[in-house]
Amino acid sequence: MSLLAKFAPLRDAYSAVRAIGRDPFGVTFDSVDSPTEGTLSGRKVILLGTNNYLGLTFDAESLDEAVQALQESGTGTTGSRIANGSYRRHAELERRIADFFGRRHAMVFTTGYQANLGIISTLAGREDHLLIDADSHASIYDACKLGTAEVIRFRHSDPADLERRLRRLEDQPGHRVVVVEGIYSMLGDCAPLKEIAAVTRAAGAYLIVDEAHSLGVLGANGRGLAEATGTEADVDFIVGTFSKSLGAIGGFCVSDIEDFDLLRVACRPYMFTASLPPSIAASVGSALTRVQRGADLRNRVMSNARHLYDGLAEAGFDLGPQATPIVSLRLPSVEVAVAFWNALLDQGIYVNLALPPATPTNQPLLRTSVSAAHTPAQLNKALAAFTLVGQMLGVVAAPQRALAV
Amino acid sequence: MNTDTEILDTIVREIAKVAPRQVSVTPATSVTRDLGLDSLAVMNFVLTLEETFDVSIPMDRIAGVETIEDLVATIRSLKKDAPV
């Protein structure tokens, strides 16, 4: 029996998806031409599933800074900061990100996934308890597996359930660390952070918020859901990524906790990975400057999100609970979802296909992510395509034909 | 609600509410294979049981549960550990 025989059910499911049309998990663009457009098999497509919330991947200043750093410092760092040392731009970026969040300390990781993996697995030790939302991102679940703390899940975005679970731990030794996300990546819903922060604080527990999808998007200054909900003082650690709103790659954690820098020599996903190339650190710093320059991009991405969300709701689609830059459609079956995804691509619209068990409610989803760079014309074209395909596949009702007079 | 029989009876009642078809549940019934529940439904079923029994089952303990009997034993031991 082959080493990979254990994946037979996965192979069968994957084959069934590919039998319907293209391979949704193996799309290769000829070129990505702008934050909102790519070329696929010689045809232009609108990118509506790339988490490019502020549209900064082609920002002129970020490109210039990155090119300059690339020429000054080379293509890569060839090792971790513990072994090879830090570049000036790493230290500068950490200072900038700490200042942006108004925190004393920041630590930069090579990916957002590693930021969660490293921080969560290192903060909670053998005697401690991690309390994570049941719909947490895979990086949070994987961090739990890497660490040694006991892990307890609470019902998605349910502060009362979290409170009960914290109460049950009252007489147990060790610390409690609660982990939630600013915007959940599948349905685009926000955590009820005010209530979660209140029960966490009342229990004397620590709170980590992953602002991966909310950095640069929520809050008057773009600091995320904690800023938007006025809970920053109750959040002990903010984790996030540079790969979405800031248009590059990398992850970070900021905090005011004493002895924060000890994490640099305790956190294995930080210690044993090559550090960010200086060109990436430079482009992230420049993108952060752009975020700080004004609220125009966050206002635009939110108004674009509302436009798409309202249009899809009006067409009759079953959507996530609120309009954020992640707008997801719930579909009745995997077959319909895959056919829908293929038909949208035929119409020149690229979105993400999310299939159970990666989805929170066991329903397949078509997940879109809206950008500040999307034009009204692009969003309207997408809305028309969704409506057409939705009616064709019977997901939404076709309009009543006007009665002849 | 702390004896094995009481715990088992409660679990059987809860299964009847969520299982897609009628299943005869014995201590040897597999939680993941025999109840007709997919992995997500099993996770949600565990969340409901935790509420019913007022316990939190840590993820590493859930991973070790194969049969209904294992589930009963896990809940009983967590109930025993809980402060009165």
Active site (annotated) includes residue A156? no
Sign of the CA dihedral with B32 first, then B37, B39, and B41 last: negative
Query: Residues A307-319: pLDDT tens digits?
Result: 999 999 999 999 9
pLDDT at position A402: 57
pLDDT at position B81: 66
Active site (annotated) includes residue A90? no
Best mutation target among A127, A135, A153 (most B Cβ atoms within 10 Å) is A153
Q: Which residue shows structure tokens 């034993």?
A: B73
B83 pLDDT exceeds 60?
A: no
Q: Which residue shows structure tokens 């991102």?
A: A137
B1 pLDDT exceeds 60?
A: no
pLDDT at position A362: 83
Query: Residues A366-393: pLDDT tens digits?
Result: 999 999 999 999 999 999 999 999 999 9
A252 pLDDT exceeds 70?
A: yes
Mean pLDDT of A260-265: 98
Q: What confidence category does residue B82 fall into, taking pLDDT thresholds of 50, 70 and 90?
A: low
Cα A131 from Cα A234, distance rounded (Å): 16
* Helix, strand, coil % in chain B, rounded to nearest 5: 60, 0, 40
Residues A54 and A374 sit within 8 Å (Cβ to Cβ): no
Residue of chain A whose Cα is closest to the Cα of B44: A155
Residues 11-30 of B with CB under 8 A from A: none
Active site (annotated) includes residue A44? no
Cα A241 from Cα A60, distance rounded (Å): 21
Residues A134 and A359 sit within 8 Å (Cβ to Cβ): no
Orientation of helix B68-81 relative to helix B4-18, angle to 10°: 120
Percent of chain A with pLDDT strictly greater than 70: 99
Q: Model's pTM, two decimal places?
A: 0.95
Is B83 an interface residue toward A (CB < 8 Å)? yes
Query: Residues B48-69: pLDDT tens digits?
Result: 999 999 999 999 999 889 999 9
Residue of chain A whose Cα is closest to the Cα of B83: A171
Whose CA is closest to A240, among A142, A369, A109? A109
Query: Residues A66-120: pLDDT tens digits?
Result: 999 999 999 999 999 999 999 999 999 999 999 999 999 999 999 999 999 999 9
